Amino acid sequence: MCGYNDLWRHHRRMMNKWLNIRVVTQFDKLLEHQTQLLLHRMLNKSSQPQPFEVVEHEFLFTMASTMLRLVYGYRLQSEDDAFYTETQLTVDRIMDSMMLTNFFVNIFPGLINVPDWVPGTGWKRTAREWRRHRQEALRAPYEWTKSQVEAGTAEPSVLKYLLEGDESVAELSSEEKENRLQELAISLYGGGTDTTSTALLKFVAAMVLNPDVQIKAQREIDTIIGPLTLPTMADRGRLPYIHNLCLEVLRWHTVGPTGIPHVCTQDDTYKGYDIEKGTIIMSSIRAMSRNSNIYKDPDVFNPDRFLDSNVPPLPGFGWGRRKCPGMHFAESTLFIMISSLLASFTFTRKLDDEGKEIVPKIEGAANSLSFKIKPFDFNLKPRSEQHRQLIKDLATS
């Protein structure tokens, strides 16, 4: 955890420069292109018997491809690519280690002083191994982009512009610059892959459980955009129901139910509770999402709840000066991918031997900062043969 100091402020300035609400639109074409690639890959795998595995993999691969291109200027070609597998493994471990209950040392910091030979300290070996792996995962893609910049062949990316002498790093020493840019790059990548792909999975779950919502959303797209036309980022303001649907996905089954852990920097008092300096504070985003005083019938998936201007979006991106700097990019990503998936595919329930619909049970999976869900059964298919052809044509356009 980084305190509110010069290092934190510098990282935040660099992120805000590339992810603020005005600048983030420069990535619209990248998002549209990555979404089209996603649709085409999903079409090719739509006949597989376990579509959950398909969408889970493709959502993560798409976000990894998007973030590698945006951050490093790297074009991901294969799921076996080391930049993908090694960087994603590092992000997964970071997400796991940030959950207080996964490692007791997160709750009892004094355990760090216990000798390695004491039983129960295997977490120390795990931490050392993860740290070594993390350093390599930070270094390799950074060095690749750096070599591309030096050769004059680098494609546009956040790291390219920073390496070329952006004013935000001009006063840093060579070592400081390398360390901060490597940390910035992995933070951007990690913040944009796991969380967004998890939100997309929960969108699919919501559509399978709420076919009336799916029909209404598709009707809005067909009426405003056209029945055989994919949405673009320029259509964002024209699709209010899709906008509210995205907000409801983030509220209904929160991606980060406990939020990011914070540390109290000074002794404080809140509603009669004395909070000592150094106390780890976690915000129950999940409890906020179930506050019936704010969200009527909170367990019901209802995008129309946001038609009421008094109903706020769930603060899932945090608040204050530590609010997620990538929230505008995440919102853009969810809009273009969710609207395009709805325009192209239908997610339906499977039938049992008697022809009755099987209503899947959505359950949480691993104990990680990004709260994933367990596999569930559903059908994935193009909305029609015309939509199938529309998606096929994307490969040649």
CATH number at residue 140: 1.10.630.10
Task: Name the more confident of 311 and 183.
Answer: 311
Mean pLDDT of 71-86: 90
Is it the case that residue 71 has pLDDT exceeding 80?
yes
Q: pLDDT at residue 1 above 60?
A: no
Mean pLDDT score, 118-125 = 67
Mean pLDDT of 84-108: 69
Tell me if 131 is assigned to some domain: yes
Q: Look at the chain and report how many structural domains it folds into.
A: 1
* Domain membership flag for residue 207: yes
Residue 368 banded pLDDT, cuts 50, 70, 90: low
Q: 281 or 391: whose pLDDT is higher?
A: 391
Residue 14 located in a structural domain:
yes
Q: How far is CA 226 from CA 206, 222, 223, 344, in A?
A: 24, 4, 6, 12
In a domain, 1, yes or no: no
Q: Terminal CA-to-CA distance of the chain, rounded, Å? A: 45
Res. 89: pLDDT tops 60: yes
Within a domain: residue 243?
A: yes
pLDDT at 36: 96
Q: Is the pLDDT of residue 19 over 90?
A: no
Average per-residue pLDDT in the chain? 87
Residue 318 counted as domain residue? yes
- Domain assignment of residue 375, yes or no: yes
Comparing 25-29, 109-113, 136-140, 206-210, the range with the smallest average pLDDT is: 109-113
Q: What pLDDT does residue 14 have?
A: 80
Residue 246 marked in a binding site: no
- Domain of residue 112 covers 6-394
Does 350 have pLDDT greater than 70? yes
Which pLDDT value is given to residue 369? 65
Per-residue pLDDT at 91: 74
Give domain status of residue 157, yes or no: yes
Q: Is the pLDDT of residue 98 over 70?
A: no
Please check the confidence at residue 72 and state whether its pLDDT lies above 80. Answer: yes
Q: What percent of the chain has pLDDT over 70?
A: 90
Check residue 107 and give its pLDDT. 60
What pLDDT is recorded for position 132?
74
